[in-house]
Amino acid sequence: MILSVSRRTDIPSYYSDWFFNRIRDGYFYVRNPLNPRQLSEIQLSPETVDCIVFWTKNPQPMMARLSELEEYPFYFQFTLTGYGKEIESRVPHKKHVMIPVFQQLSRQIGKERVIWRYDPILFTDVYTMEYHLQAFRQISESLRGYTDHCVISFVDTYAKNRKKMKELHVQEPEEASLKRFAGKLAEIARENEMTIGSCAETIDLRECGIEQNCCIDKERIEKIIGCRIRAGKDKNQRSECGCVESVEVGTYNTCLNGCVYCYANAGDESVRKNSRLYDPDSPILCGAVREEDRISVRKVSSLKERQMTLEADGIV
């Protein structure tokens, strides 16, 4: 089993104590977003969890405790952009805080386990293509030697962010212009010793030097854990998504980053209401088990094919 921690909220930044307590106790509950009375119990033994993929804009709150995960392979998807507080209102200062945090995390766990995400990219009168190219270059140069891969995507409009996208006057460039821009990003990434991939994009950017990315990446996981896994495409994600199957840990409407492009929050009031329910000792994130809830144990198992290492198998 691969754990996704989390596409729905920033657990490392705001709820890491809860996650470490779940590792300690060996299980967690997750509520079905389509059937709120249905809870799944997920077991978290090292024999079952093959890899943990963290998604975050700020892993600093959990970095001092990463030794508690020594039995669990993991890597980070670390989002670091050039946006200001009007776009990402609660993310600490990028240059003075977050770039040093990225560098520190890379030194702590290795650059192959810290993926830089410059996403989503949105265009306005302020955040023009020229602005993004300058910001991308500055961040790339700061992260040279601290990561080997960068992920980009262009902003999508959902029901949950449509109003804010309209207020920002987000622009949609023509495909030819977008491809020229993407090609320049790829060139900057190569100059700074990084490969680059796109996340769940309908536009094909391979001619620009950008491959379709797998954020929950079978090949990367196999290299980290040292053996093959039998993992298929995640059927719960969009058709353009290249990720392999995983178990989601998080809860919608709980992320406190305040990003205007967010697809996981219905609104600020909903987030405030749910985040007030946070209890680091609860088996479920930002909530409690209710009398009417139905709990079922989800059958999970290791995806490892065999214990032979990739090196012994002649793969790497």
pLDDT at 308 over 80: no
Positive/negative CA dihedral, 76, 77, 79, 80: positive
**Residue 301 burial class via C-beta count within 10 angstroms: exposed 0-12, middle 13-18, buried 19 and up:** exposed
pLDDT at 295 over 80: yes
* Cα distance between residue 62 and residue 69, in whole Å: 11
Reported confidence tier of residue 265, pLDDT bands at 50, 70, 90: confident
In a domain, 221, yes or no: yes
Question: Do 30 and 249 touch, CB atoms closer than 8 A?
Answer: yes
pLDDT of residue 156: 80
Question: Do 133 and 197 touch, CB atoms closer than 8 A?
Answer: no
CA angle 241–243–244, rounded 5-degree value: 135
* Cα distance between residue 9 and residue 12, in whole Å: 9
Among the ranges given (7-21, 133-147, 206-220, 234-248), the one the predictor scored with the smallest mean pLDDT: 234-248
Cβ neighbors of 61 (< 8 A, separation 6 or more) are 12, 13, 14, 16
In a domain, 312, yes or no: no
pLDDT of residue 148: 97
Q: Which is it for strands 2-5 and 74-79: parallel, antiparallel or unpaired?
A: unpaired
CA angle 131–184–77, rounded 5-degree value: 80
Number of compact structural domains in the chain:
1
In a domain, 198, yes or no: yes
Reported confidence tier of residue 202, pLDDT bands at 50, 70, 90: confident
**Is-above-0.85 flag for pTM?**
yes
Report the length, in residues, of the chain. 316
Region 146-167 average pLDDT: 86
pLDDT of residue 185: 98
Q: How many CB atoms are located within 10 Å of the residue 232 CB?
A: 9
How much is the mean pLDDT over the chain?
93
Give 312 or 10, the one with higher predicted confidence: 10
- Token pair in block for residue 136: 């991308």
pLDDT at 312 over 90: no
Show the domain range for 255.
2-297
* Cα distance between residue 212 and residue 232, in whole Å: 16
Q: What is the tens place of the pLDDT at every residue in 84-140?
A: 999 999 999 999 999 999 999 999 999 999 999 999 999 999 999 999 999 999 999
Region 73-89 average pLDDT: 97
In a domain, 307, yes or no: no
**Whole-number percent of the chain with pLDDT over 90:** 82
One-character DSSP codes across 278-306: --TTSSBTTS---TT-EEEEPP----B--
Cβ neighbors of 7 (< 8 A, separation 6 or more) are 55, 248, 250, 264
Reported confidence tier of residue 316, pLDDT bands at 50, 70, 90: very low
In a domain, 178, yes or no: yes
Q: What is the tens place of the pLDDT at every residue in 157-194?
A: 776 778 888 888 889 899 999 999 999 999 999 999 99
Residue 223 DSSP SS3: helix
In a domain, 314, yes or no: no
**Residue 213 burial class via C-beta count within 10 angstroms: exposed 0-12, middle 13-18, buried 19 and up:** buried
Query: Which residue is associated with the tokens 């919608």?
Result: 252
In a domain, 47, yes or no: yes
pLDDT at 236 over 90: no
Helix (H) or strand (E) holding 175: helix 175-191
In a domain, 190, yes or no: yes
- Token pair in block for residue 68: 């508690």
The packing angle between helices 129-143 and 175-191, to 10°, is 20
